[in-house]
């Protein structure tokens, strides 16, 4: 996803864990969070829940990218506050970029 976004002209900052991502998010404004569900430390659902509880971060769109395709996981993502849910096995680059572009424009 990083190379796709960079090729499309987006600046990308990478974190190695949910905790690191949250720390970065609290010190630098971002246009969007692209979050894997399965990360070291806190998972993507928890990361998004914490950003939604933060008055400064709550309006930043967050996209979950995951191998999990169950209805329960999709519902959990929606309840956490994800703006979009992308399943890796169904990944389509054009759809991915369209989703990102729509969310960043808002």
To which H or E segment does residue 105 belong? helix 93-105
Which structure tokens are listed for 64?
């979950």
pLDDT of residue 64: 96
pLDDT of residue 39: 87
Q: With contact defined as beta carbons under 8 Å apart, do 40 and 18 qualify?
A: yes
40 pLDDT tier (thresholds 50, 70, 90):
confident
pLDDT digits (tens, 9 = 90+) for 46-102: 999 999 999 999 999 999 999 999 999 999 999 999 999 999 999 999 999 999 999
105 pLDDT tier (thresholds 50, 70, 90):
confident
pLDDT at residue 106 greater than cutoff 60: no
pLDDT of residue 35: 95
DSSP secondary structure code for residue 35 in this structure: E
pLDDT digits (tens, 9 = 90+) for 5-20: 999 999 999 999 999 9
């Amino acid at each position: 996803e990083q190379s796709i976004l960079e090729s499309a002209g987006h600046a990308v900052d990478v974190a190695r864990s949910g905790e690191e991502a949250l720390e970065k998010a609290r010190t630098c404004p971002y246009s969007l969070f692209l979050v894997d569900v399965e990360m070291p430390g806190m998972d993507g659902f928890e990361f998004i829940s914490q950003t939604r509880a933060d008055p400064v971060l709550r309006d930043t769109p967050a996209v979950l990218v995951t191998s999990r395709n169950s209805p329960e996981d999709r519902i959990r993502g929606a309840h956490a506050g994800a703006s979009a849910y992308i399943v890796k096995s169904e990944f389509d680059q054009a759809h991915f970029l369209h989703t990102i572009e729509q969310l960043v424009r808002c």
